[in-house]
């Protein structure tokens, strides 16, 4: 019997069926983040080999006085993503904006993090918006006249292929308006062994995060994928300057998902995520192509991660 699926599950099913039917199988990375996937990603951010979160947080502590000096008083901070419990408070504390607007597709997670921040910062008007920030949406009323600071930390921009990243940056510009600013985190290219260790940790947390996608398909789409027939693999793609996550079949397998049959020969992979790494010039060119002019840039002492402030 055909089950009626909610729109989100329908979109998941369509992406999975289309993605696995391609000669180069791939599933969009956004489906990695169900409840379990988000928990596992949280664990990743604390791994010794996963340097980005730690490094960006340390940069924030150093640069906030300078950022605050460049952001007009009474601004509105619009964060693309629900807001990390460690990074967002550093920014809010430093610039004391009039309002903080976190935008995230996961309503539950958003409400919870917004409520926590509202309690911690009673003088800031916290206005959560449930929306997919990668698609056009509108800002809440009553803040049109205030200066805006977009906030996009974590190097999430790296999870978009450059042409989509450019579209996304242009959309941020259209939303926030000319004269607004954007504070964005970008992970830098670095020796391949460090990158591979960050995305294939010895503890196996990133592997569990990646394999959870197959478990999610089985859970939500009535799949019967033998998860133990796939292994996590992180690859460095030098031409495209990105880490790719794949799930590689370790033996010949056949499985079904929502009435569709698939067969994978041993060695065939499902591409599940890209994480682009930018050099200083490449990062600035990307921002310029997206309609943002960089006017300040900071890195940690080793040049592992960069924080850029740009103006629309």
Residues that bind ligand AVI (CB under 6 A): 44, 52, 154-156, 158-159, 199, 206, 273, 275
286 touches 167 (CB < 8 A): no
* Least distance from ligand AVI to the Cβ atom of residue 37, Å: 10
* Least distance from ligand AVI to the Cβ atom of residue 60, Å: 16
* Least distance from ligand AVI to the Cβ atom of residue 8, Å: 19
Q: Which is nearer to ligand AVI, 206 or 233 (CB)?
A: 206
Q: Which is nearer to ligand AVI, 87 or 95 (CB)?
A: 87
* Least distance from ligand AVI to the Cβ atom of residue 265, Å: 26
How many other C-beta atoms can be found within 10 angstroms of the C-beta atom of residue 7? 7
Q: Which is nearer to ligand AVI, 147 or 158 (CB)?
A: 158
* Least distance from ligand AVI to the Cβ atom of residue 119, Å: 26
CA distances from residue 299 to 43, 251, 280 in whole angstroms, order as listed? 24, 44, 10
Q: Which is nearer to ligand AVI, 60 or 255 (CB)?
A: 60
Distance of alpha carbon 110 from alpha carbon 129, whole angstroms: 8
Distance of alpha carbon 27 from alpha carbon 30, whole angstroms: 9
The bridge status of strand 230-237 relative to strand 242-249 is antiparallel
Q: Which is nearer to ligand AVI, 44 or 71 (CB)?
A: 44
Q: Which is nearer to ligand AVI, 71 or 200 (CB)?
A: 200
Residue closest to ligand AVI when measured from CB atoms = 275
Nearest alpha carbon to residue 134 among 171, 102, 109, 106? 171
* Least distance from ligand AVI to the Cβ atom of residue 80, Å: 12
Q: Which is nearer to ligand AVI, 97 or 188 (CB)?
A: 188
* Least distance from ligand AVI to the Cβ atom of residue 306, Å: 14
Distance of alpha carbon 84 from alpha carbon 281, whole angstroms: 27
Q: Which is nearer to ligand AVI, 159 or 180 (CB)?
A: 159
* Least distance from ligand AVI to the Cβ atom of residue 38, Å: 10
């Amino acid at each position: 019997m055909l089950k009626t699926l909610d729109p989100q599950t329908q979109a998941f099913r369509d992406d999975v069926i289309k993605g696995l039917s391609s000669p180069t199988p791939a599933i969009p990375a956004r489906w990695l983040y169900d409840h379990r996937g988000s928990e596992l990603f949280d664990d990743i951010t604390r791994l010794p080999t996963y340097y980005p979160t730690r490094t960006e947080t340390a940069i924030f502590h150093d640069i906030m006085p300078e950022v605050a000096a460049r952001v007009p008083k009474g601004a509105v901070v619009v964060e693309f993503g629900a807001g990390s419990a460690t990074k967002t408070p550093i920014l809010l504390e430093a610039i004391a904006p009039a309002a903080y607007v976190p935008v995230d597709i996961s309503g539950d997670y958003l409400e919870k993090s917004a409520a926590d921040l509202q309690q911690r910062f009673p003088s800031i008007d916290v206005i959560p918006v449930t929306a997919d920030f990668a698609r056009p949406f509108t800002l809440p009323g009553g803040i049109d006249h205030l200066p805006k600071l977009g906030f996009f930390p974590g190097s999430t921009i790296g999870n978009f292929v450059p042409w989509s990243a450019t579209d996304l940056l242009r959309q941020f510009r259209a939303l926030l308006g000319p004269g607004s600013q954007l504070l964005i985190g970008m992970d830098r290219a670095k020796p391949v062994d460090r990158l591979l260790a960050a995305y294939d940790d010895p503890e196996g947390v990133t592997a569990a995060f990646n394999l959870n996608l197959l478990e999610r398909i089985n859970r939500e789409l009535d799949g019967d994928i033998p998860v133990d027939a796939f292994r996590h693999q992180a690859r460095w793609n030098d031409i495209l300057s990105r880490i790719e996550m794949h799930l590689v079949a370790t033996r010949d397998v056949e499985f079904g998902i929502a009435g569709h049959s698939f067969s994978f020969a041993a060695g065939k992979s499902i591409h599940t995520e890209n994480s682009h790494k930018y050099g200083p010039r490449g990062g600035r060119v990307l921002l310029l192509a997206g309609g943002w002019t960089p006017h300040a840039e900071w890195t940690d002492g080793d040049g592992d991660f960069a924080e850029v402030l740009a103006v629309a």
